[in-house]
Structures are given as C-alpha cells and as structure tokens.
Amino acid sequence: MFYGVLMNILEAFQYNLIHKCLLERGSSVLIAVSGGVDSIVLLHLFHIIQRKFNLRLHIIHMNHGLRGSESDGDADFVQKVAENYKLDFTIKKIDTQNFAYSRKVSIEEGARILRYKFFDDMLEKTGFDWVATAHNIDDQAETILDHLMRGSGIRGLAGIAYSRDRFIRPLLNISRHDIEAYAAKEGLKYRTDSSNWELKYKRNRIRYELIPYIRRYFNPKIATVLLNTGELFRETEQYLMQQAQLAFDKALRSRSNRIVSLDLKAFRTQVTAIRQYIIFHILDLLHIQKNVVTFQFMNRILDLAQTGHSGSRLSITKAWELLIARDELVFHLRHNEAFNFEVTIAERYLLFNGEVEFYTELLQLTDIPEHYNKNPNIEYVDYDKLKFPLNLRNPHPGDRFRPLNMRGEKKLSDFFIDEKVPNYLRGRVPILECQDGIIWVCGYRIDDRYKISDLTKNVLYLEICEGCRDGL
C-alpha cells in the first residue's frame, strides 16, 4: 500500500507502537540505526513523537566491518545524524568475518548473532526498556519464505513479531516502497549498502528474484498475504505455548540449571504439537539455542521420547543430553562438577553453581528434636565418633559404607541401585567422609557407625539443601 497522505505513515507507526508493540509513554528506546532508508525513517518518526510520548531515545549502530571504508562511512554518517538530532549514540565495530569463521556459520548468521548480542549488551548497560528495529513488511515476507523453504515449523512460519522480549518493530506492516517515498518527501538522507544487491546472499536472491517472480506471476500482494499468514501462525504459536506450559507443569518431576526431568507417561499422552512446544520450553529454560534443533532433529527427539526405552539417549549439544531413565524423560548436563574439599563446621558450602548448599553445626544432644529422621536432607551424627578432618566430595568407584541399621558394608553403587537413584544423578550426590570412611551419603543415608546412641553427648548437625538458592 502507498500512503498518499504524508501523515498516514506516521499514524500507522503510532498505532503500531501503542497497539502492536505495547509501548507506554515515558519509555526509553534504543533505536538501531544502520544508516539505510528504513532505519533513518524509523529514527525520524521516533523523533517526531518523542515529546508526545515523553520518550528517552538513544541511537545504537554496529559496524560489522564487512565493507571496509564503506562500513566506516556508514558509522560516520550515523554519528552525524545522531548529532543533528542531538541524541546520545553508541557505535561499536567488530570483526564479523573472523567471528563467523570461528563459529562455522555464514556471514549473515554471524552478523545477526553479533548484532543481537550488541543489542542485549546495550539494554543491560543503559537500562533502557526497548530496542527498536526497522523491519518492514518486505522483510517479513522474505523471512517467512526463507523459513518455509528451510522446513520450519509453526514458530518459524510466524516470522518476525511486532514485539518479542525487549525488541519492537513498529514498521512491520509498512512496505519498503512507502518508506522510501516517505524519505523522499521529507528530504531524508540515507546510505545505501552495496551488499544489498549482491546475489551471493540468499536473502538478496529472495528479495530481488523470488518475490518479484511471485508478484508478477502469482500474487502482487504476496507481502501482505505473508504478513497476515504470519499473524495467524503467531496466534497459533501463542496458544500452543500456553497449552505446553500447562502440560509441562503437570509433567515436571525436577528442575535445576543442570537437569529437567519429566514424567514420561504424562509427556507421551500429549499430542505431537504440544510435545514439540514442551521441548522448546525446556530449551529456553536450559538456555540452549533453539537453532540447534532442526525440524529433522526435533523428530528424532520426539521419536526417542515416544518409543525409546530406559537407557535410550540422544545428544542435544556437546554438553546436553536427553535420556530416558525408567519412567522419566531427562534433559541433563553430561559432565558433573568435580569437587573434593575439607569441611569446616558452621561454614556454608555451595555446589553446582549454587544449586546445592551444604551446612554443618555442632549441637548438644538436648538440642535435637525428638523426631528428626523424617527429612532425608537433614541428619544428626555422633560428633565424638568422627575422626577429623571432614571432606565433601563426589562419589568414587569402589566406595563402600555401612548403611544405617545394617551390620555389614555395602558398595555405594549397589546402594544406589537399591535406592533407584538414576545413573545421571549419582555423580551429583555429595559424599561426606572422615578419616575412617563415609559418614553420610547426602540426602540418602548415614553410616551406621556414626548414629546417635544413648552415650552420645555432642551432635553434628548435617544439612544438604537443593534449590535453596536462586541458581535452581
């Protein structure tokens, strides 16, 4: 659509800010300005409404260093624009080519990763509310077509959102043609990126070859159709996310920064779409980038979860693994943190990045409650039977101890089997020991030699607490 009246594009911009992006008056906005026509028009529109909406504005620009002096010229141009508008600005230059090479990704993907890392860093540094980018309806059409040809699911076919996390895109339903017309009528100067015309980039081939072909031979309004289709997919995605959250909450067995465990039967009873979105939700919780899970890989995950047996496993990344452990579906970090340190009484110790806290305290026999053995994370042992120093460590192969109320010794590995402790959790069970051997398999059982008796005078209070810190 072409905005014949100059104010129409401004009105559309304001409507989008309020109703699509949910921007509130008094907000602070980082405006991503590349120097191209889209971002220059975006900046101009924000400047017009700045007083009306009582906005704080700050210009941000990333120089990707891909076009030599041309890239430096863009940065200089953005600085002059910021000075003309009397706005604060931040410009950062980075070596995108080396980054992409080191990460083994395309230049386009490397630039995108760095750009959004810069945006996130600026949000944290400045404390601003939003980053505004100049994506338009043509960008949306290109994105959805690209995702469609890659074999994306509902999330990918939803395309670009007007607002997601702390990013807003108030030009999303405005065409590039209208943006250029607005810039011409307002006399706005802007830079033209020469790489936008290079057909070696897939995005440019979609823009200059595929979409014009579709417009000519199939549908001249393909961009509008794809925008509306993306909105329908987005609403579908939101519904699926809500239902997946409910299903996840019902199926959840345990959760930490290192493990998410679900009831396998509860997971398997869900329809495929909900199972997919439960997986997406778990990836978010564990901070695993979703782009590692392609459509084909998602099918492998779902197949293992639906038909696998206990012991079945699948690598998600180098660090993360999915496995079935009896009646549980488990996402976990493969490598447990190794630890072995001397324990000082009344000191607090944090394990596994603060997820687990260990504490000891010296008490008198009269200090302990009458019924104290109901909580497996709290134990009391006879202080005077211990041979110091005390150490807290991971389980070791060949560990043996005498479980409470048993006469003979037992291998720790056999004890774990009897207690049905899954393999993936055994390396996380702290072992408290003294010079004579294991005192406590934390959270499970003390050694019978150190139990409290009628002769006990001094008591050592032991506590292990998982999830008592923000790390969980």
pLDDT digits (tens, 9 = 90+) for 122-157: 999 999 999 999 999 999 999 999 999 988 888 889
Crossing angle of helices 6-15 and 176-186, rounded to 10°: 120
The single residue listed with the structure tokens 């405005």 is: 174
Please give the helix or strand (H or E) that residue 132 lies within, else none.
Answer: strand 130-132
Confidence of residue 211 (pLDDT cuts 50, 70, 90): very high
Look at residue 335 in the predicted model and tell me its pLDDT.
67
The gap between the terminal CA atoms of the chain, to the nearest Å, is: 50
* Average pLDDT, integer, range 196-209: 87
Sign (positive or negative) of CA dihedral 446, 452, 453, 457: positive
pLDDT of residue 290: 72
Distance between CA atoms of 425 and 429, rounded to whole angstroms? 7
Split at pLDDT 50, 70, 90, the class of 70 is very high
Minimal CA–CA distance to 341: which of 389, 380, 383? 389
Closest CA to 210 of 161, 302, 270, 144: 144
Q: What is the pLDDT of residue 423?
A: 84
Average pLDDT estimate for 34-45 = 97
pLDDT tens for each residue of 98-131: 998 888 888 888 899 999 999 999 999 999 999 9
β partners of residue 445 = 441
Q: What is the pLDDT of residue 4?
A: 42
* Mean pLDDT score across all residues of the chain: 91
Percentage of residues of the chain with pLDDT beyond 70? 96
pTM over 0.85: no
Residue-wise pLDDT for 224-243, tens only, equals 999 999 999 999 999 999 99
For the cut 50, the answer to whether the pLDDT of residue 2 exceeds it is: no
Structure confidence at residue 427 (pLDDT): 87
Q: What percent of the chain has pLDDT over 90?
A: 74
| Domains (range + CATH), the chain | 6-134+169-218 (3.40.50.620), 237-333 (1.20.59.20), 340-466 (3.50.40.10)
* Per-residue pLDDT tens digits for 329-385: 999 887 667 899 999 999 999 988 787 899 999 999 888 887 777 788 999 999 999
What DSSP designation does 384 have? G
pLDDT of 194? 79
Structure letter (DSSP) for residue 399: -
Distance from chain centroid for Cα 120: 13
pLDDT digit string, tens, across residues 296-332:
888 999 999 999 998 899 999 888 999 999 899 999 8
Q: What is the CB neighbour count within 10 angstroms for residue 150?
A: 11
Rg (CA), the chain: 30
